[in-house]
Structure 1
Amino acid sequence: MVSGSLARMSRDTRLIWALCVASIGIYINLYMMQGMLPLIAEHFHVSTARSTLVLSVTSFTLAFSLLIYAVISDRIGRHKPIVWSLWALALSNLLLIYVDSFNGLVAVRLLQGVLLASLPAIAMAYFKEQLQPQTMLKAAAVYITANSFGGIVGRLLGGALSQYLDWQSAMWVLLVVSMIGVTITQWLLPSTDSATKREHRARHWQFSQEGLIDLRGFWRHLQDSQMRLAYIIGGVTFMMMVNQYSFIQLRLMDEPYDWSRFQATLIFLCYSSGTIASYFTARWISRHGQLPLFKISLLLMLSGTLLTLVENQITICIGFLLSSCGFFVTHSCCNSFVAMRANRHRAKATSLYLCFYYFGAAMGGPYLMMFWHHNAWQGIVVGSLLLMVVITIAVWRLGSEQRLAAAASQPQLVKAHH
């Protein structure tokens, strides 16, 4: 009966569901640790602030592995790298069950960052190859929703497990959840058709001849000043936002709030404002363009961050709702800007953006930790305001360069008209 249902399901639908299930599993594995920071600190006998490095090191190796997968999948296809890396990721959770030191935990999470990168690097290219343009737009929207959903579920699951289970038991749960997710993904994922196999086989034989072109594709985008500014805006914004969520848990578990481990992870529900906002961002971009939205997003993140200084639980939650909305709008604007500006090597342009994005997350932990040690949450706010100054300068520079480019093209248009 199950096989009959699968046969009736269209190839496009199977691909979309497979990558969405895989995405949920990926982001549960990535962000579950963020909800378990207090348990990690207790189990491995480190400070709660130092425990945030677990998220940073994973983001670090994930960032640079994105570039590798972008090249590999162009050579051997999309299907194999996704399936192989997902199984390796699931099985690597066995190492987490038996790890007995914080340094050992960091080492395993470094490895897992490499395995986590496959799907984010390949998914959009997979959709573009296999789906019609209209179907791809819908698939992309559903996939991004799955990303957000997986991140929220992972953090809440981590908080619940750290509240009621010990470390080993929690890691067994993660292993089982991961194995179920990979099994469903492989069951749903359609096999590669013969034409696509021949195309990737041809690309594989040309690897030695075209390897330099792959590097030129990355370099082409890095030489584009407007593209660099978009990368910086996205990376610095994520550097601030994702790590604010790590440290606010520590603040809420302290006096006068005294939230439990699980209660502290409920702050991640504030991500939902960003999920809703990102759904409407495409419409807003078409009406107003990216630059006005960048400015509005900055105001939202500034006001939201300042509100968290008020010693009131509801006000803190409102602050994070505003900041999350601003962050997701910024992320959506950067994504669309990179996709629209890249006329060639689009997969590499997207991989570079995600590389900056996750590298920002990796650097944000150690950066904000210095401010946390100096003045707790007030220090985090100061560190965040400094990052917002960088974002403001980058947005201003991007606007200036766009105006200069428009002015430079104007005489050519006049000349062509005459």
Structure 2
Amino acid sequence: MSLSAAAISHITVGSPEFKRSSRALFFGGFSAFALLYSVQPLMPVLSHEFALSAAQSSMVLSVSTGALAVSLVASSAVSERLGRKPLMVAAMVVAALLTILCAFAQSYAQLLAMRATLGVALGGMPAIAMAYLGEEMEPTSLGVSMGLYISGSAFGGMAGRVISSVLSDHFSWRLALAAVGVAGLLAAWEFWRSLPASRHFVPVSSGWRTLPSGLRLHFSDAGLPWLFVLSFLLMGSFISLYNYIAYRLLAAPFHFSQSLVGAVSFMYLLGIYGSVWAGRLADRYGRRHVLWAVMTIMFAGLLLTLSNWLPLIVVGVALFTYGFFASHSIASSWVGRRATSNKALASALYLFFYYLGSSVVGSATGVMWGRGGWPGVVLVLGFTLTLAMLVALRLRRLAPLVQAER
């Protein structure tokens, strides 16, 4: 291959650049999810320390995901001018430092303010990472690479929860957040060191001026708006289950310790496998044929959690987690293939609704937990997933724009 051809080639599975980018994006996903969701298992601890209800305590996560949702679109416009890698590195470093500062919050209001700022900072990571993959990866390798990125997210979500649970159980929630912040800084260094520079990114000086036309383009597409709705429903369901399963397991008849509640997050290991597995299936058989099938696994897992027998609850959470990460892997890679231009904005819109669902559905389900306990939670999430299944079936009938979109 000539130098000129190599300069414009895309990254393919098995190449040295693929290994470097996969390692970097794995650490990127790890950092973003660890920093964002490390507070989730701490919600019962914060409820006790600051005298909060479950719904009020859930705001420590909801303000971050809500702020992240809003900042995603702005960050995508900035990245069109400044580039992908610099903004992602800056986002990871600032978010890690803010997590360390959260450990020194003197009131719940201060903690919420810093968590909201952290959400704004993290807006420079998820959508831009998806845009980077969409631009730099060879189309038939995109499903695998997106799956690896999401597996890093799954590992980060697990590690952040486990670290914060164990350290808060044996020391304090403040030490737990400080430790997660330090881990985020180390992940940012590895990300900066490993990620190859963009070869297909073209700076756009008028990113802000083209934002309205980009919004019109994506929302007029026959498929993208449905994928945005799907992200809202999927993430809202997923985050709600993990928000309130901790309260259920801490109470009678289970009486889990904080460390054992955190151990539930080891289910994320199934998400690591599920996201890569689903990406391979989607590349082979087509996203439209695989998406609705893996979502049925998620729904089945939710129904199993209605049992009061602990082993069956564990199986239910495992299936739910597996199905979610498989579905998210397929839907997010589909956005990268469906968007024909302004991919960063398309990814940002997908994640805007993704994190908006986390914030809105996550907090609203807390009201049902207070009124109806776990059956009330399952009722809300069952309705949400039913809507998501209908959207997936609608997408199955969508005509592909290009063969690689299947």
TM-score, normalised relative to structure 2: 0.85
**Structural mapping, 1:240-255, within 5 Å:** 240-255=237-252
Identity of aligned residues (%): 28
In the alignment, the residues of structure 1 paired with residue 318 and residue 108 of structure 2 have an alpha-carbon distance, to the nearest angstrom, of 33
**Structural mapping, 1:282-301, within 5 Å:** 282-286=279-283, 288-301=285-298
2:283 counterpart of 1:277: no
Displacement of 1:37: 1.6
Q: Which amino acid aligns with 2:69?
A: A
Name the structure 2 match of 1:221: 218
2:174 counterpart of 1:177: no
| Pair 384,67 (structure 1): closer, same or farther in 2 beyond 3 Å | same
Name the structure 1 match of 2:173: 167
Cα deviation code 1:33-53 (max 9, x no counterpart): 112222222232323442122
Displacement of 1:13: 5.0
In the alignment, the residues of structure 2 paired with residue 258 and residue 238 of structure 1 have an alpha-carbon distance, to the nearest angstrom, of 27
| Pair 269,56 (structure 1): closer, same or farther in 2 beyond 3 Å | same
In the alignment, the residues of structure 1 paired with residue 142 and residue 230 of structure 2 have an alpha-carbon distance, to the nearest angstrom, of 26
Task: Judge which range, 133-142 or 169-178, deviates more.
Answer: 133-142
| Pair 175,385 (structure 1): closer, same or farther in 2 beyond 3 Å | closer
Whether the 8 Å CA contact 1:56–1:364 is kept in 2: the answer is no
| Pair 16,293 (structure 1): closer, same or farther in 2 beyond 3 Å | closer
Contiguous gaps of at least 5 residues in structure 2: 1-15, 401-406
Name the structure 2 match of 1:152: 158
Task: Judge which range, 299-308 or 157-166, deviates more.
Answer: 299-308
Name the structure 2 match of 1:323: 320
In the alignment, the residues of structure 2 paired with residue 277 and residue 183 of structure 1 have an alpha-carbon distance, to the nearest angstrom, of 27
Displacement of 1:128: 5.2
Name the structure 2 match of 1:409: none
Name the structure 2 match of 1:308: 305
Name the structure 1 match of 2:11: none
User: Cα RMSD over matched residues?
Assistant: 2.8
In the alignment, the residues of structure 2 paired with residue 131 and residue 283 of structure 1 have an alpha-carbon distance, to the nearest angstrom, of 14
In the alignment, the residues of structure 2 paired with residue 189 and residue 296 of structure 1 have an alpha-carbon distance, to the nearest angstrom, of 33
TM-score, normalised relative to structure 1: 0.83
Whether the 8 Å CA contact 1:43–1:167 is kept in 2: the answer is no
Displacement of 1:65: 1.4
| Pair 71,153 (structure 1): closer, same or farther in 2 beyond 3 Å | same
Cα deviation code 1:194-235 (max 9, x no counterpart): x999x64xx33xx2xx63323211221112243211211221
1:356 paired residue among 353, 358, 362: 353
Equivalenced residues, count: 386
2:120 counterpart of 1:114: yes
Q: Which runs of at least 4 in structure 1 moved beyond 4 Å after TM superposition?
A: 10-16, 127-139, 187-190
2:70 counterpart of 1:64: yes
2:82 counterpart of 1:85: no
Whether the 8 Å CA contact 2:62–2:362 is kept in 1: the answer is yes
Contiguous gaps of at least 5 residues in structure 1: 1-9, 407-418
Whether the 8 Å CA contact 2:168–2:176 is kept in 1: the answer is yes
| Pair 392,306 (structure 1): closer, same or farther in 2 beyond 3 Å | same
Name the structure 2 match of 1:263: 260
Name the structure 2 match of 1:46: 52
In the alignment, the residues of structure 2 paired with residue 131 and residue 333 of structure 1 have an alpha-carbon distance, to the nearest angstrom, of 16
| Pair 292,78 (structure 1): closer, same or farther in 2 beyond 3 Å | closer
Whether the 8 Å CA contact 1:35–1:154 is kept in 2: the answer is no
SS at match of 2:52: coil
Q: Which amino acid aligns with 1:284?
A: L
| Pair 343,126 (structure 1): closer, same or farther in 2 beyond 3 Å | closer
In the alignment, the residues of structure 1 paired with residue 226 and residue 143 of structure 2 have an alpha-carbon distance, to the nearest angstrom, of 26
Name the structure 2 match of 1:411: none
Task: Judge which range, 335-344 or 305-314, deviates more.
Answer: 335-344
SS at match of 1:98: coil
Q: Please identify which structure carries the higher helix content.
A: 1
Whether the 8 Å CA contact 2:151–2:275 is kept in 1: the answer is no
In the alignment, the residues of structure 1 paired with residue 324 and residue 21 of structure 2 have an alpha-carbon distance, to the nearest angstrom, of 29
Name the structure 1 match of 2:10: none
1:22 paired residue among 12, 20, 28: 28
Displacement of 1:334: 1.6
Displacement of 1:287: 5.3
Q: Which has the larger radius of gyration?
A: 1
2:337 counterpart of 1:340: yes
Task: Judge which range, 143-152 or 277-286, deviates more.
Answer: 277-286
In the alignment, the residues of structure 2 paired with residue 109 and residue 362 of structure 1 have an alpha-carbon distance, to the nearest angstrom, of 13
Displacement of 1:242: 1.6
2:382 counterpart of 1:376: no
In the alignment, the residues of structure 2 paired with residue 329 and residue 19 of structure 1 have an alpha-carbon distance, to the nearest angstrom, of 18
Cα deviation code 1:356-379 (max 9, x no counterpart): 111111111221012111111111
